[in-house]
Amino acid sequence: MVTKLQESTKKIEHARSVTKVNAGDYYIQVIKQGETVRITDLEGNQAADTLFFNANDTDETYSAVNTIREQKNVFLGTGSILRSNINRGLLKIVADTCGNHDTLGGACATESNTVRYDLEKPYMHACRDSWMLAISEHPEYELQKKHITHNINFFMNVPITEEGYLTFADGISAPGKYVELEALMDVVILISNCPQLNNPCNGYNPTPIEVSIWAQ
Ligand SMILES: [Zn+2]
């Protein structure tokens, strides 16, 4: 993919909220139409497993299939419009200093930890656990298990081989890299800051991210 790096003009002191999210924790929030959210990879090589929903009807969820088909590219970067399961624009990536972001790899789960890594690994904390904890601790968002579907792995590097295989690879992110998105409708953002220790998506060393929101 031809990556299109784009710096933001927004200043952190103007943000209406700035939140540090440790690896293994979640972040859930409403972003109003016209507002901007920035996710920053504070220490580099982290993966932020992220779900998006229409805040006024959470059955409208982020769709990797619609997003990829409409932009005719499997990677996400500056200019990408994140589309819903009814093909409406949820958010647009307006700045990106990382290069590309994965939306094919899915999220880590205790089951996949067992299959991929070791029978001893199912007890390790996984992104799906963080999402389930978030929706149970925040019933006000009206999210259920069925809403845990397609996700984006911001900062995660999942190259595709010439034969079409997906591979995990060392991240291309670095300390302070960020991605910034403008909401095209009122959306709920739900992030699991990935606690995965078994693959290079976060350098075998999960680290914090920062989430900032600017009002319109
Ligand atoms: Zn994960």
- Give the model's pLDDT for residue 125: 78
Distance from the alpha carbon of residue 144 to the mean position of ligand 1, in angstroms: 19
Distance from the alpha carbon of residue 36 to the mean position of ligand 1, in angstroms: 24
Distance from the alpha carbon of residue 127 to the mean position of ligand 1, in angstroms: 4
180: which residues sit within 8 A by CB, 6+ positions away? 8, 10, 36, 37, 38, 39, 93, 94, 95, 96
In which residue ranges of the chain is pLDDT below 70?
1-3, 112-124, 197-203
Distance from the alpha carbon of residue 202 to the mean position of ligand 1, in angstroms: 9
- Give the model's pLDDT for residue 181: 98
73 vs 196: CA distance, rounded Å: 27
- Give the model's pLDDT for residue 116: 67
Distance from the alpha carbon of residue 15 to the mean position of ligand 1, in angstroms: 27
Distance from the alpha carbon of residue 71 to the mean position of ligand 1, in angstroms: 26
Q: Where are the domains of the chain?
A: 12-208
Distance from the alpha carbon of residue 180 to the mean position of ligand 1, in angstroms: 21
Distance from the alpha carbon of residue 9 to the mean position of ligand 1, in angstroms: 30
- Give the model's pLDDT for residue 87: 98
Distance from the alpha carbon of residue 48 to the mean position of ligand 1, in angstroms: 8
Report yes or no: 62 and 84 within 8 Å, Cβ to Cβ. yes
100-152 confidence digits (pLDDT tens): 899 998 888 777 666 666 666 666 678 999 999 999 999 999 999 999 999 99
CA dihedral over 11, 26, 197, 150, signed as positive or negative? negative
- Give the model's pLDDT for residue 107: 87
- Give the model's pLDDT for residue 166: 87
Distance from the alpha carbon of residue 124 to the mean position of ligand 1, in angstroms: 11
- Give the model's pLDDT for residue 119: 65
Distance from the alpha carbon of residue 110 to the mean position of ligand 1, in angstroms: 10
Q: Output the furthest CA–CA distance in the chain (Å, rounded).
A: 48
Q: Give the ranges where the chain is alpha helix by DSSP (H).
A: 64-71, 110-116, 127-137
